[in-house]
Amino acid sequence: MKKIAIFGSGKGSNAENLIQYFKENTSVKISLIVSNISNAGILSIAKHHQIPSVVLTRKQIANDVNALLELMKVHEIDFIILAGYLLLIPAELIDQYENKMINIHPALLPNYGGKGMYGMNVHHAIINNKETQSGISIHLVNREYDKGKILFQAVCPVLPNYDAALLANKIHDLEYKYFPKVVEDWIGSI
């Protein structure tokens, strides 16, 4: 049984989708939800599914990174999934989960990645620049954050009538469709 922790700062719709997908799975278990935001939607989702959850703020992690490492140890976490997690991951954790930490990015990396490029910022930038396509990137996390090995990308058109909110919906649809399967395949491959 491989145990997974999902880290998220927001609504948690990808977490919900992953939880549903792996519900009956006998080799993969979503065992822990971690958030830096005490009222994030992802925590209600954890509660609803009776999955343990922990809030660790930016300050708490900065003061004591060992608390985070210890948390992973206590819950025997094998893989970490970042699903809309907005804090920088400490290098110690990245090193410990080399090839075992997966992020989803709502654009086609290497474009629209890096500093400031998260959440709606990405979609606003794509609309402002009149891009004709966007998509999702599912990638491993290394110390250069958005530059880890890309496991999977899917493209969607950006039509002239799209605004950032509509694009975000289209991107979410792609995420729901592909993220769980890509995670499952990667876990199964190593």
Tell me the closest approach of the beta carbon of residue 118 to ligand GRF, in angstroms: 6
The DSSP element (H or E) to which 108 belongs, if any, is none
Compute φ and ψ for 68, nearest 5 degrees.
Answer: -70, -45
Residue 33, CA atoms < 13 Å, CB-side half-sphere: 30
Tell me the closest approach of the beta carbon of residue 5 to ligand GRF, in angstroms: 15
Q: Which of 84, 135, 148, 180 binds ligand GRF (CB under 6 A)?
A: 84
Tell me the closest approach of the beta carbon of residue 49 to ligand GRF, in angstroms: 15
Q: Which of 110, 114, 119, 157 binds ligand GRF (CB under 6 A)?
A: 119
Total interface residues for ligand GRF by CB under 6 A = 16
Tell me the closest approach of the beta carbon of residue 33 to ligand GRF, in angstroms: 11
- Cβ pair 57, 39 in contact under 8 A: no
Is residue 25 close enough to count as binding ligand GRF by CB under 6 A? no
Q: Which of 13, 25, 96, 99 binds ligand GRF (CB under 6 A)?
A: 13
Which window, 50-58, 62-70, 102-110, 181-189, contacts ligand GRF (CB under 6 A)?
102-110
Is residue 106 close enough to count as binding ligand GRF by CB under 6 A? yes
Q: Which parts of the chain fold into alpha helices (H)?
A: 13-22, 41-48, 58-63, 65-74, 91-96, 119-128, 164-189
**What pairing do the DSSP bridges indicate for beta strands 133-140 and 101-105?**
antiparallel
**DSSP summary character for residue 142:** B
x/- letters, 58..77, toward ligand GRF (CB under 6 A): --------------------
